[in-house]
Amino acid sequence: MKRNLGRKFLILAITQLPLLALSACGVQSEVSSPKISSETAAGSNVGTNGQLVSIQSDNVSFAGYDEISRVMTVQFKNGALYEYYGVSADLWTSFIAAQPHPWSQVGYPRLVHGGIPYKRIG
């Protein structure tokens, strides 16, 4: 249990620390969805380079996508953290665009029913 709490704290620290640092400097910032390009060619900026970003959803808290490794990470509101492997940039873009229902509209049907390999990591 301590290990899970430590991992959750680390994830929150990584995702929230930049916002806290900006706030301490008097800079106001809003958490927003990542800016995603529709380009999928080499050098495009699809994804978050693996960083978790806040997701507007009833059951997903954070998600991230690394275009190079094609790994998508999803943290659910219950604290469960999963990695999905071999995820296309198109699937990630669709997931983000489906807010506030990314899991029911894209994640579950395309990741789970689509047979995308995954692993629970937290």
Considering 23-32, 43-52, 64-73, the range whose residues carry the highest mean pLDDT is 64-73
Q: How confident is the model over 33-37, as a mean pLDDT?
A: 40
User: How distant is the alpha carbon of residue 40 from its chain centre?
Assistant: 18
| Residue 10 to residues 4, 21, 33, 63, Cα–Cα distance (Å) | 10, 16, 21, 15
Q: What is the pLDDT of residues 11-21, one digit of tens each?
A: 444 444 444 33
Model pLDDT, residue 44 = 59
List of residues 6+ apart from 16 with CB closer than 8 A? none
- Banded pLDDT at 115 (limits 50, 70, 90): very high
Mean pLDDT, residues 74-80:
98
Return the closest-CA partner of residue 75 out of 92, 53, 90, 93. Answer: 53
28: its two tokens: 């106001």
Alpha carbons 119 and 105: distance in angstroms, whole number: 21
Quick: pLDDT tens for 79-92.
Answer: 999 999 999 999 99
